Amino acid sequence: MNDNDYLKKVLKSQTLAEDSEELKALRKHRDAVEKLLRKSFGFAPTIRYGGSMAKGTMNKVSYDLDIICYFPHDSTVAGKTLKEIYDHVCAVLEKDYFVERKASALRLRSRDSKSYKQDFHIDVVPGRYIDDTKTDVFLHQEGGTKEYLKTNLETHINHVKDSGVVEAIRLMKLWRVWNGVVVKPFVLDLLTIKLLDSRKSDDLTSQLEHVWQEFRDHPEELAVEDPANPKGNDLSDLMDAARWSLSSVARSTLTTLENGGWEAIFGKVDDLSDDDRSSSLRGLVGTVQTPTKPWCG
């Protein structure tokens, strides 16, 4: 087995099967959330998947589900302002869940005594479409200097899905989690796509080495734009907060690769079953701060 085949095997070990217990649980909770929202708001909002599930970048070791709840631009069923929509959706969800208020998302945890405050890996993102086309959307910004954010879910999803480097993105997401790299997931996605724009036909080993070399050697030059709103959403602060962590861990990773090979970075995938590997890493994942989504500020 060559190095590229090994990385493919790593990805396979991190792929959630359609009938896996994790996806079954996510879908069950997704249905419960939609039922709760429909009970209060009827069929006014668009409710659908977002995040890594929609983009095809979900990994077993660290996954979540974004549920967007976008109201028509002329609907007032959840409120007249973006803040009223955010607050009203939060109040509805709090009937059945503990809700953590993030910048623009609402994180759900269990109220059940048997699974008290268990994290369901679900963020609900309320918003309002800008017009009848139901493309661009405004989101409330909780506690930020800017009260709202313009974004486009479909643009985000397609930018990643159609990038041609989804496998490299998934491996970079694993690298981030297992090394505690301080970078927001969507910023890492954007960096990977940008740095591999001319290397889509390279094998995975070459792609990852190139990204890490750029992180290590040119941290001050790293920059990304929000594809949904490049002029309106400034990601420079997020990039500034991440560049030195990216550089430091990339340097260490390349040294490890040189001395120990790829298994020293991603482990021996045959040593553990999928369930055992996922279970053994949950403790590590719990210690890594999980940032809010890029459209959540």
pLDDT in tens, 81-99: 999 999 999 999 999 999 9
Instruction: Decide: helix, strand or coil at residue 286.
Output: helix
Two tokens, residue 288: 């890594």
pLDDT for position 210: 98
Query: What is the rounded CA–CA span in Å between residue 146 and residue 141?
Result: 7
pLDDT for position 230: 92
Output the CATH code of domain 21-152: 3.30.460.90
Residues in contact with 14: Cβ distance below 8 Å, sequence separation at least 6, in sequence order = 59, 60, 61, 170, 174
Burial of 149 (0-12, 13-18, 19+ CB in 10 A): buried
pLDDT for position 211: 98
pLDDT for position 35: 96
Per the rule left: phi > 0, alpha: psi between -120 and 50, beta: everything else, 261 is left
**Long-range contacts of the stretch 92-97 (C-beta < 8 A, 24+):** 92/36, 92/37, 92/40, 92/41, 93/33, 93/36, 93/37, 93/124, 95/36, 96/32, 96/36
pLDDT for position 231: 87
Low-confidence ranges of the chain (pLDDT < 50): 271-297
CA angle 118, 123, 127 (to 5 degrees): 150
Query: What is the rounded CA–CA span in Å between residue 138 and residue 130?
Result: 6
Give the count of beta carbons closer than 10 Å to the beta carbon of residue 71. 23
User: How many residues make up the chain in this entry?
Assistant: 297
Instruction: Give bridge partners of residue 126 from the DSSP assignment.
Output: 69
Query: What is the rounded CA–CA span in Å between residue 138 and residue 69?
Result: 12
Rg (CA), the chain: 20
| Residue-range domain boundaries for the chain | 21-152, 163-266
